[in-house]
Every structure is written in C-alpha cells, then in structure tokens.
A and B are shown apart, each in its own frame.
Chain A
Amino acid sequence: MARNLALLTLALLLVLAMAACGDDDAGTPTEPTRPVSQPAPTAAPAPTAAPAPTPIPPDANNELVIMSHDSFNIGEDVIAAFEAANDATVVLLPAGDTGLALNRAILEKGNPSADLFYGVDNTYLGRALAEGIFVPYESPGLANVPEQFIMDPSFHVTPIDYGYVNLNYDKAFLEAEGLQPPSSLEELTESQWKGSLVVENPATSSPGLAFLIATVSYFGEDDDYDYLDYWADLRANDVAITDGWSDAYYTNFTKYGGDQPLVVSYATSPAAEFFFSETPLDDAPTGNILLDRSVFLQIEGMGVLLGADSPNLARKFIDFALDLQFQEDFPDKMFVYPVNRNATLPDFWRFAEEPAVPADIGPAEIGEKREAWIEAWTQVMLR
C-alpha cells in the first residue's frame, strides 16, 4: 500500500511539474525513479518442497472466486449444486488464455483476485510451482484418478481433466485430392504435403507448444536428426504458422475456407465438429491423425491460491470437481476427458480417439527446458 501511494504521488508530481513549467519537453516522462525505501513484498515465499502441515485459516467470507482460462465451461446447475451444498456463492473469472491467465495469477501472487485457479496444464506446471502461487492440498478424490494423471506429486495442483494435442485432417479435402492421411511425422516433410500443414506458434499458443514438445519427444534433442532439423524441413515444405488455435482453425484450415488441410488441434475436435454440426451427421467431417509418441497428453488442473480469502471453500471445490457430477458435466462443454476413472462419457465421444502411446516428456523436464525449446524453435522458424 505504502509503495503504491509513493508511486502514485510520484506520477502526479511528475505530471504537475510538466504542467507548471510548461517548457519541459526534454526526455521521456515515463521512466520511474527508484523509490527511496523499499518495503519487502508482503507475501511470504511459498514452500516448494513438501510443507510442514500448517493450520488453514478460517474463510473470510463464503464467496468462492475461481480464476480460469477462457475455455473453462461448466453447467449452471453443477455450480448451483455446490453453492447449495456449501451455502456459498461462486464467482467465475475467466482471465484470457492459459498462459495469460496463469501469468496474471503470478503477477498477483500473495494478493490474488481469486481463491482458486483452474487451468494450469503440464506445460505450465513448472512455472507455477517455481513461482509458488499455490498452497498444497491432497484431495481424497484423487483415489479415483489413475496414477498417470497425477502430474504434481507435491499436490499444489490437482488434475481435473486431460486431452490430446495432435493433427486433424479435413476428410472431404483429402478425399477430393486422392490423398491418404499422413502415416508418420516424417511424411509431412515430403512434397505431397507441401504447404498443407498449419501449426500454432509455441510461444503464443498452448496447442502449439504441446505439438512442439511432441516433436522434441519423437525426434530427440541431440540425435543426428533432431527436432530442429525436422522443423527446418517443415519450414522448407511451407508449413504455415499462426499465432493461436482460433486463427489456425478458422482461417487456415480448409474446412473453413483456408489453404491447409492439416491442422494442429485436439483429439476431441472431430467429436466437437460432430456435436456442433448444423445438420445431423453420421460421421465427423474431420479426422484425427494419431501417431504413436507424437501425440501430446495435456493434463489440466486446479490449485488453491496463496493468500486466498476462502481457503477452506476452495479445497471443498477441488473435492467437488473430482466428483462425478462435475466430471461428467464438462466433456461436452470443454471437449476434454475427465480424470475420474468412473465417469461415463457422452455418446458422440466415440469420435474422440485416444492414442496408444502419447509423447513421453514429464512436467519437470518441460518446466526446465520449455523456454529454451521455444527460443530454439523461434530461431529456426521465424528468423
């Protein structure tokens, strides 16, 4: 507070000085000067190792605020059920895409806008843990979650759903061209697929990053032909790069009038196409290309934010989110799989296929090397 006041005063003085002397047009007026005394940040650093059990403070109010990425979606009745059972009000706060929302939470560390954060995936987990924005909580609901989805053994982030990032293809287009879907990643560098693939920039898009990690897993980092050699070949084969999933899918993908019949999307996208189609279909208009070890398993979870007003309510919500009512409600809204092994899936889900062997790189390694991969990729692809 004191620091904010000092800064505010400084900004006011700066501008009033400009107005008063009226002649002052030298230099840039935006460089903040260093305040004389710096109080230490108010938030205590969160423990990164297994913490000693500390008593949870009582809730300040019975309002639960959940910050999430923009793709979060859940039934109104499900939230109402939680509110009724706990005599609470739930406020949902979407805050941009995965990266932006998490960065906002990091920026607000210790004084969060919310109690709970939904949408940390295994590509961003390392950053979230290093920044210490969550407090650990081991929910009893994890008993119904298969071991492979428990991405954070320190329980700062609890897995809720998962999905696969892979290539989708436009069935009608390939049929008209007389092409079979590619049978390997290597095939995409061949001439029949020249200019046929659109990918998202891993620096700005979460499926883009997931696909990059899949290629790292598949080709390796220091083999004779590593992932960067592969990307250089893709570049030579006119791969298109977009900023995010929406522009890749809705402006580049041939299904929507673009130039590329192959797009990096999700294994559930064909099911979504079927579900959201205008006319009843007997088959999905797009298909998945599920190649072993080149599909990325993306796990998403929730965490209780450090400094939450309602830490107990937040923990109750995590338990609730692992329960069947919540787990069975979101698949046809977010098009992701529930982690609870007992959850039943909607009927059209048959178009969402699961790959046999997903890419194999753990969150710890991703957290450590993500930026280096993105940097190297950017050098090869964009510069």
Chain B
Amino acid sequence: MTARLALLAPLAYLAIFFIYPLGAIFERAFIQGEGGFAGFGTLLGDSYYLGRIWFTTWQAAASTALTLAVGLPMAYLFARHDFPGKSLLKAVSTLPFIMPTIVVAMGFVALLGREGLANTLLMAVFPFDDPPIRLANSIWIILLAHAFYNYAIFVRIVSAFWSNVAPQLEESAAMLGAGRVRTFRHVTLPVLLPAIASSAALAFAFCFTSFGVVLVLGGPQFATLEVAVYELTAKLLRLELAAALAIIQMVFTYLFLLAYTRLQASSAVPLNLAPQEATARRPKRAIDVVFVVALVALLLVVLSPLWALVERALSTADGYSLRYFGSLLEDVRGDIFYLPLQNIVGNSLRFGVAATAIALTIGAAAAYYISRPGRRGASAADALLMMPLGVSAVIMGFGFLVAFNRDPIDLRATSIILIIAHTLVAYPFVIRSVLPAMRGMPQNLREAASVMGASPAQGFFHVELPILTPALIVGATFAFAVSMGEFGASLLLVRPESTTMPVAIFRMIAQPGAENLGRALAMSTVLMLVVAAVFAAIERFRYRSAGGF
C-alpha cells in the first residue's frame, strides 16, 4: 500500500504539469485548429518526414554506442580507483552536460576548426597544404558532440553502481584462473548490465530528442524530429503539424522506453552490495598507475573543448586578463536589461536547488515503487514517467503558456513555472540513477537489521541509505545539472529579473562584436565554475553510516 502511495505523487505531478499542458496545446492544435487530425496523414505520407524518423533513430543509436565506448572506461576509473584529485575530476567530468550548445560549438571550432589547435599541430608536424581536419557540418561532428555531452551519464551512473559492487566476485574469478578480459566479460559486465542499460536508455532518449547539437553543429541539413517540431512550432506556427509530429516522436520514445523498462525489470539481480569507500583502491602496481594516468589524460582530452573556451574567455587583445569577467560585474552601457553577475548566478542557483529538491523527492518515490518486486504495470509506469524527456521543449513551453494562463493559476508571470519545467526534465535522471541500486538491494539486509532489533526507520537510515547514497548523489548531480543547463523552456518562460546563466549567454551572443563574445565566454566560464563547485559540494554530502560493513 505504501508503495502504491509512493507512486501517487509522481503521477499527480506528471498529470498536472506534463499531460495537462500537453493536452492543452494538442487541443489547441487539433480541435480549435481547422485541420483536425489531418496532420498525421500529411506527415506519414511525406517521405521527408519518414526520412527524419529514420535518421533520428539511427543517429541516436550510433551516438549512444559511441557515448558508451567513451564513458565505460571512465566509469571504471572512478569506480575502482582512488587517486589524488579524484573528486575534483569527477565534478569536472560532468560539466559538458550543462553547457549551451552554441558555446560548445565555439569550443569545437577553437579545437577542430580551420585555425584550430588540432589542425595547427598537424600542419606543423606533417606537410599538409590545407587543414586536414574538416568536421564542420558533418555527421561525425554530431556523433562526437553527443558523446561529449552524454558520456558523463555513463560515467556517473555506472561508476556509482560499480562502486557498490563488492570486488570479491572479480577476485574469486581471478583466483579461479580467469584472465582480466574473461573476468570482465563473464563476471563484471553481467553485474553492471542494469546500470549500463539505465544509462544507455537516458543517453538514447537524449540523442533521440537532441536539438541544439544537431542544429548548431550539424547544420539544418541534419534535421531530427525534434528540429522539425521546433521549426514547425517556433517559426512556422503550423501547430497542427508540429503537434502531430510531436505525438509521433512521443510514441516512438514511449515504445523504446517500454521495451527497455521491460528488459530492465527482468534482468535485475540482487547483489552483494558494499559502501563505496570499501571498493576503491589506490593503484599499487606500475601497470595500474600507468592505466590510471592514461585514463585521466584521456578524460582531459575529452574535456578539451571546455578548456579552449576558458582560454578564449581570458584572452584579450593585450594578453591574458580578467577584463571580460570584470565587465559582467558593472553596467557600463546603462541598458535596461543589465543584471549584475551575482543576480544571474543567484537565479540559476535558486532554480537549480529548488528543482533538484523536488526532482529528488519525486524521482526517489517513483523508483521505490518501480523497484518493488512483482508490481504489475511497473514497467509501463516507468516508461510513462520518462516521457518528459521525449517531448520538445518548445512544445512544452507553449503548453505551459496555454495551460496556466488564467486565474487562479496564472503562472506565466512567476518563476514557479520555470522550476516546474526544470523539474520535469530532471526527475527522470533521479529515477534512472536510483533504480539499479534499489533493485539490487538484497532483502535479507533489512531483515537482518530487524532481527538485530532495528526499527524500520533505523534499518532504512543505517542499512539502505548508505547503500543508496552514491546513487542519490548522482541523481541530485544530474537534476541540478539539467536545471542549470536548461535553456529551451527557460527562454520562453524566463522574466528579465529571473534571467539564468544560459539565457544570459544566448542574449550576449545575439549581437556582433568581440566584446559581446568575450562576455558570453566569460559567463560560460562562470557557469562551469559555479556548477563544478556545487557538484563538489554534493559529493561531500555523505551519509556517514555508523558501523560500516
């Protein structure tokens, strides 16, 4: 019964803040519009749109595979090794997730562009006449950027889970004579599968509904469904087509997620879980040290577009200086929209903390219900709760404007609407982060605690919570990151006094001139610093279990 109640809050949230605004915009599109449901026929009879569905699907699959290939080694690094600077590196590794696409695109240009670092190096070493790397507006840059954006999902979710898995299993396999590769294939991988699948589902959903990357880095010739929906909604105002396409996109997302949640539910195995302090080791042998150093180096290379941005934010005509950062603090030109940097950072942080708190509550409650064994319909509920990831931000934003526009709930002039929108895309991450650990939780732990005389609450706080902490931390990290980086809905719903960092960045580069670019890059650097600091603070938040294991 409590489990049933635990599902009530997330579903009510979903109904009021997701299905209702969507219903409102769909009603506007199909029922108030003249065309009715003819849009579906138009779209499904158009080879262009059918092609979009196909392209969207395969680029998402390819991107997810590449993301996995980059993310898994890093997950291993963080799960099984302890080294100086680990927590800082962990915080930094998740930064790509929050960066506005246009800024990341500039980072890519600085590295891989015509005069970028990579080409300059290659041309210095080899006798090339022309820059050898030509990635601009190609499918490769889309896949690379998706891997860059989403590898952190694998790193965080898989490493949190991995660090809970007691190493005895692997050690036993090694004792029995299995080599490293065999041990990984037959012991480690099957154990990690729930967490890997969980991250893959998130990464796939993200790449499937990718928008900024495709538009800014790939260029308009690589339109995905999301891009088509955006054009039809934001630019052409063909709501009847936009809504039909959005529904087609949602159906696909739902089917993918349903297939995945079913698979997921049947593959969970209870595990021998241990707190992570007990599982990470300092590298002792030389080969381990080399391995760790190599992985850290690789991580720094993956993050290089971000370093390039910081470098550009600091370079001014007279060498390196903090001039652009200074210009964020003072209003030199007296324009009406100027907000001091501390206000903008404050807004972002306020929304981020509020959205994270709500997302953690909702996500953890939902995961608790879904993880109980033998729940009928749990997979369907799980897939349904993931749906906010499958809907275009601009459709969602319009839905909010149409749905919450009359007293008593005219939310259009409040910041609440923004927090609600952020929470909607944040809580699915909490569910995906927490679920593998909840599913793997052995029943006998709690029973043992009761036998020893612990109350259910004591059992929860001293037995389950320490085991769930890494997963909850990952969930909170992503919820916060999603809120800090969210831009699509923010642009529609933000008020001048509640401008967030990504919105401010976009406003700055809407104007020509080196000064505007410099300020935008400085603001991006501030965004990275603030978020990295919060990530590090979240990591510090450990529930110290009294006894340990």
Contact = CB atoms under 8 A, between A and B. Distances in A.
A241 interface: yes
A11 B19 contact: yes
A258 B27 contact: no
A14 B19 contact: yes
A312 B506 CA distance: 33
A348 B446 CA distance: 75
Contacts of A7: 20, 23-24, 27, 403
A127 interface: yes
Nearest to B493: A95
Interface string A249-262: 11110101111000
B109 interface: yes
A240 B137 contact: yes
B185 interface: no
A74 B512 contact: no
A237 interface: no
Given A25-B380, A103-B234, A257-B110, A70 B405 contact: no
Contacts of A29: 19, 384
Interface stretch (B60-68, B168-176, B213-221, B268-276): B213-221
A340 interface: no
Interface stretch (A45-53, A105-113, A177-185, A297-305): A105-113
A41 interface: yes
B26 interface: yes
B496 A94 contact: yes
A230 interface: no
Nearest to B514: A278
A209 B383 CA distance: 40
A167 B333 CA distance: 28
Nearest to A73: B335
Interface residues of A, number: 90
Contacts, number: 246
Given A73-B336, A99-B235, A15 B12 contact: yes
Which of A107, A258, A272 has most chain B Cβ within 10 Å?
Answer: A107
Contact of B401 (A74, A108, A258): A108
A252 B377 CA distance: 50
Contacts of A54: none
Contact of A257 (B19, B115, B316): B115
Nearest to B382: A25
Contact of A273 (B115, B316, B514): B514
B102 interface: yes
A250 B234 CA distance: 23
5 contacts: A18-B384, A30-B387, A108-B405, A250-B106, A251-B102
Interface of B: 4, 7-8, 11-12, 14-16, 19-20, 22-24, 26-28, 30-32, 48, 102, 105-106, 109-110, 113-116, 136-137, 215-216, 219-221, 223, 230-231, 233-237, 247, 250-251, 254, 258, 316-318, 333-338, 375-377, 379-381, 383-384, 387, 394, 398, 401-403, 405-406, 412-413, 491-492, 495-496, 506-507, 509-518
Given A7-B23, A22-B376, 13 more contacts: A8-B403, A10-B23, A11-B19, A15-B19, A19-B7, A23-B376, A32-B26, A32-B30, A70-B510, A203-B231, A242-B216, A243-B220, A278-B316
